[in-house]
Amino acid sequence: MASKGDDQVSLTGGSDENPTRGNWSNKCDFILSCLGYAVGLGNVWRFPYLAYSNGGGAFLVPYAVMLFFAGMPIFFFEVCLGQYSSQGPITVWRASPMFRGIGFGMVIASAFVGIYYNVIICYAIYYMFASFTSNLPWEHCDHDFNTVNCTLKYAQCLSQPGKIMIETTCQNITELGLTNSELGEINVVYANGTWDTSNYIDTYSDYRKRPTEEYWKRGVLQESESMNDTGGLVWELVLCLLLAWILVFLSLVKGVKSSGKVVYFTATFPYAVLLALFIRGVTLDGAGDGIDFFIKPEWDDITTPQVWLDAATQIFFSLSAAWGGLVTLSSYNRFHNNGYFDSVFVSIANCATSIFAGFAIFSVLGHVAKEQGKAVPDVVDSGFGLAFVAYPEGLSLLPGSTFWAIIFFLMLITLGMDSQMVIIETVVTAICDSCPKYLQKNKTLVTFFVCLIGFVLGLICVTRAGAYWVSLIDSYAPSIGLIMFGLLELVAISWVYGIKRFTNDIRSMLGDSCVYNFPMFFWWQLNWTVISPSLLLFVLLYNWMNWSEPTYNDELYPVWGRVVGWITIGLTLIFIPLVMLYEFIKASGSIVQRWRTISRPTANWGPAIQANRTQAWQMHTYHNTTMGGKEFTDDVY
């Protein structure tokens, strides 16, 4: 517990308000960290694709609805929870010990995601280094790993008189011995002394591969035929993964004091790149077609439940709710920080970034489609396909392609690093908060071991079957669990801890002007208690009812792979009932008494600084807030 002297020092701004855990150096550090955490790779490679495939501009309607009734309320909710208690995602459940398993689940889910998320960063590092050349390596089909299926080799074959592609081989028509009827079937004729292949029907078009696709699959990943064939390590990716973990460790070496300064670059640089790409993109031939496909409203799609599900899911994941990261970041705030402004600003800025990224991405993809004589949908992918296949293809068509490739992949690195820093900080904070007396002073060492373990476990993701593992963890680990965490934490605080009490907690931080003297604050309470839990329940049930096993390369994972996937889900959820059972058994008395014990706050729950605890206690006493029929007393604060 901090002394009175600590509180007085903090009033002068000379040191941290909480000398044990530390605080952000200033408000800007926190806002940029939250913005960097929320604005991630999904804003660039998932939102534009979802918008296009779910009604274009019409998708913005359900997207906005989900923002205001699910995303923003949960964001503000978690910021308040972490800031009030100055605790990480596990120890914050001193508020209601029976729900402490939610915190364990959040940390485990973050650990799983942190392992593969840094692998994605390592892909971007690989591409950035590969871009330092006058001719981008994915522009051509002259590498040893290229096959005859490569599109350029296919085009080179057809450019030769009397040549056509049959399966994977460029062949001379005269040597095939085809009859006239067989030639007619493939639309090849001999006229005026030459073979006319202008109307050639390619019956093996599914075999054809783009140079960017072969570079990604065969050059970078060196991908094996199935998940069963692990193959050896891809050493270039191992080195890039090591560099990625070194960058994460250096960014977190001094906790929020160092990460808060790193985000001044990592959180702002992507905006500079997106702006540059947007300006360049809209000047390209065909840009209008791409933007039109992105924003053209298809109003009929709004009535489809799947569209609303995609909007809710995208908002939920885009704002990084229920990962434990927002609780972690806000736990380093000063007690009276205006988290209300921070939450609204970051939530809206995150969604605006997604929309702006869509314009930048689709303007370039429209140019790609124009150059290749294809429709825009034929060059649009999601996830890895957009970031490492479709977009590099577009970059190679731009004047000064090397420059644009370097800054694009540097942007992906910074987007990933922002989120990864918070993911690892969440794990480290949870570990240190579990035993603050011994671990807080050795936090740097804890961070080192967490990064080291993450690197070692991530090696499976940089084998020749690594992409299967990345996709597997991405498909299972952060899916059902995160929605469940968000739903349960809202129910736990709003209905068990008590919405009136939580409101007074916020009032003690923000004052009457933002709570009781602000009529719109009732809107937040309504969302926390009814609307947001209902929306999350809808998403959860719809996911269950329409669940289909994830695939990679359009094929199901092997049975053992699916078992591993369900184990990852189980590991994130199993602690919820186990902790409830443990707390119930540990408590004493009758069933009712045990229930009251494990649902009520512990004696060490509340603000970290004594002056703030006293203030919070006075407010609860003044408003006679009750729980279980008894007034809150000083034994809680």
Flag the least confident range among 58-62, 92-96, 188-192.
188-192
On the CB side of 32, CA atoms within 13 Å amount to 23
pLDDT at 633 over 50: no
State yes or no: pLDDT of 2 exceeds 80: no
CA-to-CA distance for 54 and 307, rounded, in angstroms? Answer: 6
pLDDT in tens, 461-478: 999 999 999 999 988 877
Q: What percent of the chain has pLDDT over 90?
A: 47
Please report the DSSP string for 273-313 in residue order. HHHHHHHHHHTSTTHHHHHHHHH---GGGGG-HHHHHHHHH
∠ Cα 244 110 93 (to 5°): 140
3-state secondary structure of 553: coil
Average pLDDT over residues 81-101: 94
The helix (H) or strand (E) run that includes residue 165 is strand 163-166
pTM over 0.95: no
Instruction: Encode pLDDT of 511-539 as tens digits.
Output: 888 887 777 889 999 999 999 999 899 88
Q: Where in the chain is the domain with CATH 1.10.4160?
A: 4-137+219-580
User: Percentage of residues in the chain with pLDDT exceeding 70?
Assistant: 94
Highest mean pLDDT among 93-107, 423-437, 532-546: 93-107
- Position 499, amino acid: I
Which residues face 626 on adjacent strands? 631
Name the nearest CA neighbour of 326 among 523, 164, 103.
103
pLDDT digits 0-9 by tens, 578-617: 999 999 999 998 999 999 999 999 988 989 888 788 877 7
Q: Model confidence at 14, in pLDDT bands (50, 70, 90)?
A: very low
Domain formed by 4-137+219-580, architecture: Orthogonal Bundle (1.10)
Mean pLDDT of 501-506: 92
Buried b (16+ CB within 10 A) or exposed e, 218-229: bbbbbbbeebee
